[in-house]
């Protein structure tokens, strides 16, 4: 286990920005997806769905940029733990990437298979080889995997808070620069 004292070396600014933009986009996309059906058919619903598709494409670009940055230039920090905890952390981070990529891919396929209209001006060509059942399956898988992201992300956030409030090791300060490790009893 890596026990950190005082201040923690944070990730670089771009890595932190990518992380928090991803958090905001995923939360916004999830909320937006649930709000689409609140609107009547026609232009309000079309525009909300179009925003969902547009921000899904932005999220796809962010994921690509994030992965390229991670592989080519992002600050690499030492593992926070060793043994089973490090294996679990590595697994959860990898799972989040897989779920993000899968959700965005299914979302883009869903928009294409539905032949969605973007802001009522451009319609995606609906492929003739995709039937109604396939469209429904892709839409359901997209929702299922998106919900899975929230479950795994909640576990990830809980682990970060556990590090901060129970382990007092400063790991949360890697993504929130300047955050001092929490000390029991407010010390």
More confident: 181 or 24: 24
Has residue 49 got a pLDDT over 60?
yes
What does the pLDDT look like over 116-154, one tens digit per residue? 999 989 999 999 999 999 999 999 999 999 999 999 999
**CA atoms of 78 and 1, how far apart (whole Å):** 11
Closest by Cα among 22, 29, 174, 27 to 89: 174
Domain boundaries along the sequence of the chain? 13-186
Pair 106, 141: CB distance under 8 Å: yes
């Amino acid at each position: 286990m890596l026990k950190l004292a005082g201040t923690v070396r944070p990730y670089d600014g771009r890595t932190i920005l990518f992380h928090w933009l991803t958090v905001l986009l995923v939360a916004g996309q999830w909320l937006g997806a649930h709000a689409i059906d609140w609107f009547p058919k026609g232009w309000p619903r079309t525009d909300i769905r179009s925003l969902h598709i547009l921000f899904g494409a932005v999220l796809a670009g962010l994921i690509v940029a994030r992965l390229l940055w991670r592989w080519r230039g992002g600050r690499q920090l030492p593992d926070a733990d060793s043994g089973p905890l490090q294996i679990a952390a590595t697994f959860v981070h990898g799972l989040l990437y897989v779920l993000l990529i899968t959700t965005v891919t299914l979302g883009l396929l869903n928009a294409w298979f539905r032949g969605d209209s973007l802001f009522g001006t451009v319609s995606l060509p609906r492929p003739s080889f995709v039937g109604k059942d396939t469209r429904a399956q892709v839409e359901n898988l997209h929702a299922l995997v998106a919900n899975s992201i929230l479950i795994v992300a909640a576990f990830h956030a809980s682990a970060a808070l556990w590090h901060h409030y129970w382990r007092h090791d400063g790991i949360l300060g890697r993504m929130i620069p300047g955050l001092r490790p929490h000390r029991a009893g407010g010390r």
